[in-house]
Amino acid sequence: MNVLVALPVLLPLLAAALSLVLGSFANLQRMLGVLVLTFIAVNAGFLLYIADRDGPVVLQMGGWAAPFGITLIADRLAALLLLVSAVVMLAVLIFSIGQRITDYGRDTSSTAFHPMYLVLCAGVALAYLTGDLFNLFVAFEIMLAASYVLIVRRTTATRIRAGMTYIIVSLTSSLLFITMIGLVYAATGTVNLADLAGRVGDLPPGIQTALALMMVVVFGIKAAMVPLHFWLPDSYPTAPAPITAIFAGLLTKVGVYALIRTQTLVFDHQQSWTLMLIIALVTMIIGALGAIAQNDINRLLSFLLVSHIGYMLFGLGLYDVIGLAGVILYVVHHITVQAGLFLVSGLLTRHTGTVALRRMGGIAKAYPLVAVLFALPALSLAGIPPFSGFVAKLVLLQGGVGVGTTTAYVATAAAVLTSFLTLYAMARIWVLAFWGKARAPHADPDPTDELIIGTGSTSKSMVVATGSLVVFGVLIAVFAGPLSEISARAATDLLDGGPYVTAVLGEDAG
């Protein structure tokens, strides 16, 4: 049973190697990727069931016991996020195949896309499942190595420029990460998260604070929290729609997951975390204000992505069961909705040939299905009932009011204001792109672009993949009750830490 924890990491890596060998057989490459991601989604669902029923599922790699060996662990939080991420990764892959970004619009397949995409998926899975800081670093490096290739495919000057920003920031955060790991090991003699939970508390308060803040900076860069967000709106919008969708849906959330895991398991903040609440407040407002100033739909969505990272930081700053349960619900909702919106943006670009909102128009009449596919996740992101965004925000707002401190009240008010600003941004897209007169498609200014842009041509798999992701987002709202219960149990585990530590180190831990 425990070997199931390793499969979400091992299978994509093995499939990536096989996909590289099958570079001349496009259909086999595509089929392999779809089958592997489907299996990972099923496997994650089973892990979630076992973790929720019996507790964390642990695998000690190579027979070396923790804290000396490599530990993989699937608790409620890790398994839930892995399940949602696998569904999103599968939908985005199907969209990519339909868009033919995987083969540049040619009949023969590009060798690089499928292997790199599977490597990226393996990195995401390892980040959720690893039980130590060093292998969390390895997971981020796996993701980054794959993302470097994916973000600069079909090179243009603009894409290379944006890719350089992304790469430089990522390398800088990686240097800070490995430095932080060295300092943690020097102070405690271990990098195992469960072992750190028992050792960090014995350190002087100043060293504890310094290590906690280093982790906030390292993972804050990866999560794109303000003021460490500047790289994201300049990097993500230049990539093709499915690449942007998977980056926006998953990579920033892995950073948020790392923040949640380390700040709850390794450190004990005991009460609401004022600094994190202030960061959350600033992130929400600045991201939303940046969004409403944009004319490029992808930059607008990128700034909203930054803004809504603030909601997740808000719940972490509350540092109680309600706040953390709200964070978990919000991450599940946001992974799905944000990826779906970027896929819809890909459909809009295919139809109009432009990302400029003021050059669009009449989409609702010409392509009503695309309008529906945009409206549902847009309403959810804005927090309109009865969608999943409303459910998650309601839990966070209840937590903010329940904490009762001045900072918590101000952050709660900022969360409400951000919802209205998000609604305004979504309404602006609707008015400019979907209402009004239909306009002639704009030709792509890049004559070397081989994708069918601006012709109204969309494959069925593109629409089906986007629709499936939108429906999955609606189902999150439909099953909000069971999800809220699982999230509350996961939040309780996070604050307790005991089940995680016991599962990794055994009954004699501590």
Distances 332 to 39, 100, 133, 354 between C-alpha atoms, Å: 20, 28, 23, 30
Rounded to 10 deg, the angle between the 388-403 and 321-352 helix axes is: 150
Mean pLDDT of 438-453: 48
**Could you tell me the pLDDT band of residue 314, with boundaries at 50, 70 and 90?**
very high
Residue 472 has pLDDT above 80, yes or no: yes
- pTM of the complete model: 0.90
Residues shown for the chain: 510
Span 69-80, pLDDT tens digits:
889 999 999 999
465 vs 152, residue with greater confidence:
465
Mean pLDDT within 223-245: 83
Q: What is the pLDDT of residues 124-181, one digit of tens each?
A: 999 999 989 999 999 999 998 888 888 776 656 666 776 777 888 888 888 999 999 9
Instruction: Give the helix, strand, coil percentages of the chain, each rounded to 5.
Output: 75, 5, 20
Kindly calculate the radius of gyration of the chain based on its CA atoms and give it in whole angstroms.
22
Q: What's the pLDDT band for 28 if we cut at 50, 70, 90? A: confident
Task: Indicate the angle between helix axes 113-129 and 7-21, nearest 10 degrees.
Answer: 170
Amino acid type, 86:
A
For 130, the 3-state DSSP assignment is strand
pLDDT at residue 9 tops 80: yes
For the chain, domain boundaries: 271-441+453-478
Which of the 8 DSSP states describes residue 200?
A: G
Q: Does residue 467 contact residue 374 with C-beta atoms inside 8 Å?
A: no
- Cα–Cα distance, 197 to 267 (Å, whole number): 7
Work out whether the CA dihedral 293, 297, 299, 303 comes out positive or negative: positive
Q: Measured between alpha carbons, how far is residue 103 from residues 7, 108, 109 in Å?
A: 28, 6, 4
d(CA 500, CA 489) in angstroms, rounded, equals 13
